[in-house]
């Protein structure tokens, strides 16, 4: 157990280390001089360029620059935005809760809509309902998020005037459309998995036994089948958090929501390198941390893996 | 199987924990500042408010700062003009009027300006406005705290020396050089006046806590979301050319930051915003046609959208080739393409709404492909191998355009089409701004895209005076003593008529030598809901929110 734990944490640190090198390199991979990229077509003087180079610490050897970058990052100092001179870590911390609220709501929506539809399709296997649900799920999977979002806005905001088309808060009304847009492709996958898993379980011997015992169909489905059919679905959805955080970029931009996805987009547009570096580093760190903790918790709960 | 369930559940639990740990947890809700309700309605003749009149405006770009002295971009100027006042104000017709200064007196050399200030003005933080504020604001702009800004380049380029506080309500602003345009520049947002107490109190954070004397007070700024300002109930020093007196007509203005044009349009359609800035032209026209909105457009003064032509690099070192380029392009069609029916063609190096615009220089060229062909043939450029591209001594008629397509995507293909039809081989090289700038510095270009919004023709000096060749902005590399003299004198001569004459000379030299290919006037446009009343533009094309009201 301890061995595994050490190994797992060590590899995670290694991954984070690699990410930090990549992120650090970004500023040196920009074609031409990064100061020019930052200053753009402003009226630049030699002094201004020199000043900025000094400010970015570009005059030191690479390893010194990297060491300084890593040291600061470990202390939570991700530098200062070139665009608005605010600390990068503060900007990210300000935007993070909004992205999490969006991703979580999308996850909940995906799970509830997807499981309900999948369950329905499995129970009505082979009927028109089954075909309809599967058809819908193919559309849900195939329609790009930005198109789906526009359709939802057109219907719910422009025509029905039920929900705002731009939203920032975390109330139900504010979150509904963005979460639906982000969650629908997930829901489509969930529906398909739920259906397959349910069909699989329904043919298991213990279900036949339960039925043979004369249990009511509702009880068989809800108590015996559903619980087991949910396992692969929940696993899948849980691990989709990363996808949802990434997909938030488009949805946040579309609904003009606060969030780290939009922060990344805006920073890229305005060539705010410290901010881009910070967002990438923090997002990567979140992925790595979530995955590491999941693996560790998993091992803790499952003695079989411990033995391997 | 059960273990996979645990695995999934543990992920969800972890995320929940992370969420909870995220300090505060819930994202900032759209709060309506409580103070808005307090804004007294009895101060104006406006009908007694049942609910606060809130004006929502969708803006495409989030400002970087609300410190007017530190701002560089359009959105900062737009926000600043509502929170701050300047020493003087300019009416839409270009005339100067009192603002924070009730009277002013330049010395003979136009290098020292004595301002007599209003005595009844208070800042939003309650402190009194005195001459000390002028000194503090200008000194702040010149300090290390401001690296580069619109205000800094105005003061620095004219060698600002100091502001002398004579008494509480008299200040003298001194420059080492003659600065005849200072009174006009003193009316611009870049040089508006901040509260000295707030500058001191907030220091580096002043850009997020602005305190001025303007018709609206700053309330809150939610990054990437919105900036909220509320009516200043004490405001009683609006400009005399405004349509009303006293406080602004709306209780609150919410600037929603909506970078996507489609998002702005939808939010406008659903009524979530009442004014949308820079809507997509086609949709805006359709909405206006249906009566659901009005389009307000403003042709910006200053340098219109032009291509500066490198006059020292072959083949455009030949004046006939440059002239042929201008004649080969149909500006009318180009403007239509870039802005649909909202577009205005440009025929000169400054746009018609600019002070000092010279009509004669604008009438030198009009679309004439036959004449373009004749000029090119006269210069020896003939299509010998009938591939559509002209050649001379084995060289093709090739022009090089390094550019960031973000600036030119709405028109560059059409423009290249015209030039190709005339027999040019246009090498359009797409790159980001930094790389394009390096190409310019290295001299690897024939064409440079440029526009510059300003109510007067002073940018001509940056773009055409020979002191600015070699990377300073004069990308045509054209050197002409008469042009240099006119541009230098135009910047410093204290006689307004002489300055006008200088700029007319400059425009005519630039156009006669075919140094630029004029394309279209850059427009600013806004979509306004039918409930918006009193929408007007200021001299630079910013909506004048002070006079706007929202019908209930």
- Do B221 and B240 form a contact (C-beta atoms < 8 A)? no
The verdict on a CB contact (< 8 Å) between B22 and A91 is no
Nearest-by-CA chain A residue for B224:
A258
Q: On the CB side of B542, how many CA atoms lie within 13 Å of its CA?
A: 22
The number of helix segments (H) and strand segments (E) in chain A equals 15, 0
Identify which of A123-127, B99-103, B410-414, B455-459 has the greatest average pLDDT: B99-103
pLDDT digits (tens, 9 = 90+) for B138-163: 999 998 888 778 888 889 888 999 99
CA distance B82 to B270: 26
DSSP assignment of B457-503 equals STHHHHHH-GGGTTTSS-TT----HHHHHHHHHHHH-S-HHHHHHHH
- Ramachandran category for residue A32: left, alpha or beta (phi over 0 → left; psi -120 to 50 → alpha): left
CA B109 to centroid of chain Cα atoms: 30
Continuous H helices in B39-98: 74-83
- Among partner residues B8, B11, B272, which is closest to A166 by beta-carbon distance? B272
The verdict on a CB contact (< 8 Å) between A255 and B24 is no
Mean of per-residue pLDDT scores for chain B? 86
- Among partner residues B8, B208, B263, which is closest to A166 by beta-carbon distance? B263
Mean pLDDT on B120-125 = 95
pTM: 0.81
Model confidence at A23, pLDDT cuts 50, 70, 90, reads: confident
A-chain residues near B28 (CB < 8 A) = 98, 168-169, 258
pLDDT digits (tens, 9 = 90+) for B244-259: 999 999 999 999 999 8
The verdict on a CB contact (< 8 Å) between B226 and A297 is no
- Confidence at residue B50, expressed as pLDDT on a 0 to 100 scale: 63
The verdict on a CB contact (< 8 Å) between B5 and A304 is no
Q: Which 39-68 residues of chain B touch chain A by CB within 8 A?
A: 62, 64-65
* B483 has pLDDT over 70: yes
Mean pLDDT on A113-122 = 91
Nearest-by-CA chain A residue for B30:
A169
Nearest-by-CA chain A residue for B65:
A84
| Order of all β-strands in the sheet with B523-528 | B216-222, B226-231, B252-257, B54-59, B275-277, B523-528, B294-299
**Which residues does residue B30 pair with via DSSP β-bridges, in sequence order?**
none
Chosen from B2, B8, B439 to mutate, greatest number of chain A CBs within 10 A: B8
A283 at interface of B, judged by CB pairs closer than 8 A: no
Model confidence at B401, pLDDT cuts 50, 70, 90, reads: very high
pLDDT digits (tens, 9 = 90+) for A208-255: 888 888 888 888 888 888 877 877 777 676 667 777 877 788 899 888
Chosen from B148, B202, B434, B473 to mutate, greatest number of chain A CBs within 10 A: B434
CA distance B429 to B40: 58
Residue A289 dihedral angles phi and psi, to the nearest 5°: -65, -45
Rg of chain B's alpha carbons, rounded to an integer? 26
Query: Taken in order A21, A26, A27, A28, is the CA torsion positive or negative?
Result: positive
How far apart are the two ends of chain A, measured CA to CA in Å?
10
* B312 has pLDDT over 90: yes
DSSP assignment of B28-52 equals PP-PPPTHHHHS-STTSSSPPPSS-
């Amino acid at each position: 157990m301890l061995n595994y734990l050490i190994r797992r944490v060590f590899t995670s640190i290694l991954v984070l280390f690699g990410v930090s090198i990549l992120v650090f390199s970004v500023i040196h991979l920009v074609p031409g001089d990064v100061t020019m990229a930052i200053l753009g077509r402003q009226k630049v003087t030699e002094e201004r360029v020199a000043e900025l180079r000094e400010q970015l610490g570009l005059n030191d050897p690479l390893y010194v620059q990297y060491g300084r970058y890593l040291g600061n990052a470990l202390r939570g100092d991700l530098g200062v935005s070139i665009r608005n001179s605010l600390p990068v870590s503060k900007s990210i911390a300000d935007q993070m809760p909004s992205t999490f609220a969006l991703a979580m709501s999308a996850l909940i929506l995906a799970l509830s809509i997807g499981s309900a539809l999948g369950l329905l399709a499995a129970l009505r296997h082979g009927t028109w309902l089954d075909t309809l649900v599967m058809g819908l799920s193919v559309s849900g999977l195939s329609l790009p998020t930005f198109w789906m979002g526009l359709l939802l806005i057109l219907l719910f905001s422009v025509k029905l005037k039920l929900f705002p088309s731009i939203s920032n808060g975390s109330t139900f009304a504010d979150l509904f459309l963005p979460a639906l847009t982000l969650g629908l492709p997930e829901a489509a996958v969930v529906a398909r998995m739920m259906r397959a898993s349910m069909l699989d379980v329904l043919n298991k011997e213990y279900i036949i036994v339960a039925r043979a015992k004369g249990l009511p169909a509702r009880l068989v489905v809800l108590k015996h089948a559903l619980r087991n059919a949910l396992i692969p679905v929940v696993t899948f959805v849980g691990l989709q958090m990363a996808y949802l955080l990434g997909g938030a970029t488009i949805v946040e931009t579309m609904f003009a929501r606060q969030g780290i996805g939009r922060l990344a987009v805006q920073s890229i547009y305005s060539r705010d390198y410290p901010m881009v570096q910070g967002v990438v580093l923090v997002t990567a760190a979140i992925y790595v941390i979530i995955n590491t903790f999941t693996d560790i918790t998993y091992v803790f709960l499952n003695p079989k893996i411990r033995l391997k | 199987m059960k273990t996979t369930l645990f695995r999934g559940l543990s992920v969800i639990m972890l995320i929940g924990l992370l969420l909870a740990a995220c300090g505060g947890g819930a994202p900032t809700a759209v709060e309506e500042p409580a103070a808005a309700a307090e804004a007294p309605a009895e101060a104006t003749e406006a009908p007694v408010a049942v609910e606060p009149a809130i004006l929502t405006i969708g803006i495409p770009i989030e400002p970087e700062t609300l410190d007017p002295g530190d701002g560089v971009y359009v959105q900062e100027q737009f926000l600043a003009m509502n929170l701050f006042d300047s020493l003087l104000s300019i009416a839409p017709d270009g005339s100067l009027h009192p603002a924070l200064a009730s009277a002013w007196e330049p010395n003979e050399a136009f290098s020292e300006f004595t301002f007599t200030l209003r005595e009844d003005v208070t800042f939003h933080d309650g402190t009194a406005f005195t001459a000390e504020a002028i000194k503090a604001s200008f000194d702040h702009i010149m300090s290390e705290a401001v690296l580069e800004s619109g205000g800094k380049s105005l003061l620095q380029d004219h060698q600002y020396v100091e502001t002398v506080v004579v008494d509480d309500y008299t200040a003298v602003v001194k420059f080492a050089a003659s600065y005849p345009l200072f009174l006009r520049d003193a009316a611009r947002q870049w040089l508006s006046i901040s509260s000295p107490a707030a500058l001191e109190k907030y220091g580096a954070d002043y850009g997020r806590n602005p305190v001025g004397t303007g018709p609206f007070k700053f309330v809150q700024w939610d990054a990437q979301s919105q900036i909220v300002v509320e009516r200043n109930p004490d405001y009683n020093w609006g400009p005399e050319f405004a349509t009303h007196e006293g406080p602004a007509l709306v209780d609150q203005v919410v600037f929603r930051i909506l970078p996507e044009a489609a998002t702005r349009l939808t939010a406008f359609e659903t009524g979530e915003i009442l004014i949308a800035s820079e809507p997509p032209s086609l949709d805006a026209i359709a909405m206006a046609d249906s009566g659901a909105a009005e389009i307000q457009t403003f042709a910006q003064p200053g340098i219109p959208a032009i291509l500066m032509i490198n006059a020292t690099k072959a083949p455009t070192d030949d004046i006939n080739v440059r002239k042929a380029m201008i004649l080969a392009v149909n500006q009318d069609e180009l403007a239509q393409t870039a802005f649909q029916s909202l577009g205005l063609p440009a025929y000169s190096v400054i746009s018609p709404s600019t002070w000092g615009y010279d009509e004669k220089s604008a009438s030198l060229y009009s679309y004439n492909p036959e004449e373009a062909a004749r000029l090119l043939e006269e210069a020896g450029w003939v299509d010998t191998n009938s591939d559509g591209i002209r050649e001379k001594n084995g060289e093709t008629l090739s022009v090089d355009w390094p550019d960031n397509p973000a600036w030119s995507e709405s028109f560059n293909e059409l423009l290249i089409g015209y030039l190709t039809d005339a027999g040019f081989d246009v090498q359009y090289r797409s790159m980001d701004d930094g790389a394009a700038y390096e190409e310019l510095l290295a001299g690897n270009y024939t064409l440079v895209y440029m526009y510059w919004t300003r109510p007067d023709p002073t940018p001509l000096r940056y773009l055409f005076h020979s002191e600015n060749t070699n990377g300073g902005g004069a990308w045509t590399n054209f050197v002409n003593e008469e042009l240099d003299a006119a541009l230098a004198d135009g910047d410093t001569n204290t006689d307004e008529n002489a300055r006008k004459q200088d700029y007319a000379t400059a425009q005519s030299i630039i156009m006669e030598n075919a140094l630029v290919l004029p394309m279209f006037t850059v427009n600013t446009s806004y979509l306004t809901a039918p409930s918006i009343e009193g929408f007007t533009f200021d001299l630079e094309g910013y909506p004048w929110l002070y006079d706007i009201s929202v019908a209930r």
